[in-house]
Structure formats: C-alpha cells, structure tokens
C-alpha cells in the first residue's frame, strides 16, 4: 500500500470526488466536492488530497484542508474527508491515512491538526482529543477533535 499526493496521480480525481460526495455530501453537493479536489491539484499548500493505492487500485483518501467546519474557521488545518473503500476496511488503512496527514502537517510546520465527526469512539483510539461540540452547516451537531504535533517535552534526566 502506498500513500501519495493526488497531484502525482490526477487521473483518480473524479473517483475521489465521487467517494467524498457519496460519503459526506447531499443530493446536490457533488460539484462542491469536485471543486475541492480540483483545487488540490493546483499545487497550493492547502488544500491537499492524499490517496492510498494498492498497486493501481484506489483504496482510500484523506484531505488536509485549511478549514472543514464553517463554524470553526478559527482552527486550522483540518484532517478532512477520510474515506476507505469497503474492500480495504478493517485493515488499518484509516489509521495509516491519519498518520500520513499528521506527518505531512508536521513537516509543513503546523503545530496542531483538527477534525470533526458526528460519532464517537473511532478517532479517540488514534490519539485525537475531543475538545468540544460545534455545528456543521446549517445546524447539525458535531464533535471537534484536536491533535498536537509538538514533540513531547522531556526532562534532561
């Protein structure tokens, strides 16, 4: 399994947009997800989309976005749109995609990363700290999580 930036294999952009729309969107939001994926292909620092490949088979995707929750624009960056294809679930790929985004964030100089979820129990297993509730547009309650990227402080002893 190999995780790379979508810019290296842009032929997967449409499939990634479809996955994101089907997993996270509403009936008429496909163009929104397609536009986010398209903006990832420009080479800008953010947003970025990463894909997991099993040979030439798309297995999963995750994003690193400037903002993923309109009501919390004060927080940045965000791990966003984590999706693993059914055939690759329960194999640890979700964790690998999270770790990849955290490492990319760290190497880009970010000190923390955020995400939100409507559920509990999954992200906590991977070191994400619940920091409070917020609203996804227009009024859907969600849980906000945080992960620090700073190295732990050690005493010199």
- pLDDT tens, the chain, 157 aa long: 999 999 999 999 999 999 999 999 999 999 999 999 999 999 889 999 999 999 999 999 999 999 999 999 999 999 999 999 999 999 999 999 999 999 999 999 999 999 999 999 999 999 999 999 999 988 999 999 999 997 655 555 4
Sign of CA dihedral 112, 47, 5, 107: negative
- State the Cα–Cα distance between residues 35 and 29, nearest whole angstrom: 10
* Strand spans (E) along 55-90: 57-65, 78-84
Cis previous bond, 138, omega within 30:
yes
Closest CA to 136 of 157, 123, 119: 119
pTM value surpassing 0.85: yes
């Amino acid at each position: 399994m190999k995780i790379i930036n979508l810019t290296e294999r842009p032929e997967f952009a449409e499939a990634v947009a479809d996955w994101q729309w089907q997993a996270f969107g509403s009936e008429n939001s496909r163009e929104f997800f397609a536009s986010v994926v398209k903006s990832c292909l420009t080479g800008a620092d953010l947003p970025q989309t990463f894909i997991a490949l099993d040979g030439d088979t798309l297995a999963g995707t995750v994003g690193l976005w400037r903002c993923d929750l309109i009501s919390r624009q004060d927080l940045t960056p965000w791990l966003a749109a984590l999706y693993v294809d059914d055939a690759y679930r329960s194999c640890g790929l979700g964790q690998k995609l999270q770790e990849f985004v955290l490492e990319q964030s760290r190497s880009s100089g970010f000190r923390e990363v955020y995400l939100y979820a409507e559920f509990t129990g999954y992200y906590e297993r991977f070191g994400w700290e619940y920091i409070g509730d917020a609203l996804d547009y227009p009024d859907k309650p969600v849980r906000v999580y945080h992960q620090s990227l700073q190295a732990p402080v050690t005493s010199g002893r």
